[in-house]
Amino acid sequence: MTEPKIDIEQHIQMVREALGKATPGPWTQSALVGGYVITDYPSHDAVAVVIEYNENGTIYKRLTDKWRENRHLIANSPTWIKQSIEIIEQQQREIESLRSQLAQVKEDNFKLSQSSMSVTDKLFAQRDKAQTEAYDFKLRAQEAERERDELKKANTDLLHGLRWYASPGTYQVNVTGQWEPKLAIVSDAGKRARDLLAQYDTSTESAQ
């Protein structure tokens, strides 16, 4: 069976009231035939008389072996109880202080966790932004590579065309028959240049 929980505050108040109603201490010890007396110091008024009895009801005059220890315990009870109350109250104050500190620590930890979550959210947002920018850069890089390849091909084709027009052989007579001398440039009649312009020239003049 579970013992009922003691209310410390009520217990302290009850003991304090009992001490207040009793003879004020400190108490002291006095000898007595067949027992011992607890007296108030310095008035030496009797506070309690302890007499030991035999089982048949007669006074046990020799006292028990522990009578001095018993007398010492009874005489010092008020002082020890007061000291115990002071210790308990001091511990209660320390407990309240620790509770207050614990509450503050919990509040600080909550604020810190909220701050950490905020920082984490910002880091995730920055990461997402960086990933988006990296993807956009990748697309731009791929587009730049495609344009580079197209320009490289156009440059190669144009160079071939220029080399053909710049070649002396283009302007040499090609005798295909006794009466049909031809020049390659004449046969081309600008077709090679027009084909290259049609493929690569995007200016307004070429459209006209």
Strand 35-40, strand 173-175: pairing: unpaired
Under 8 Å between Cβ of 38 and 71: yes
Domains of the chain by residue range: 8-96, 167-208
Q: What is the pLDDT along the chain (208 residues), one digit of tens a residue?
A: 555 666 777 877 887 787 777 766 666 666 555 556 666 666 666 666 666 666 676 665 555 566 677 777 777 788 888 888 888 888 888 999 999 999 999 988 888 888 877 888 888 888 999 999 999 999 999 999 998 988 888 888 888 888 877 777 777 766 555 555 567 777 777 888 888 778 777 765 554 4
pTM of the model: 0.41
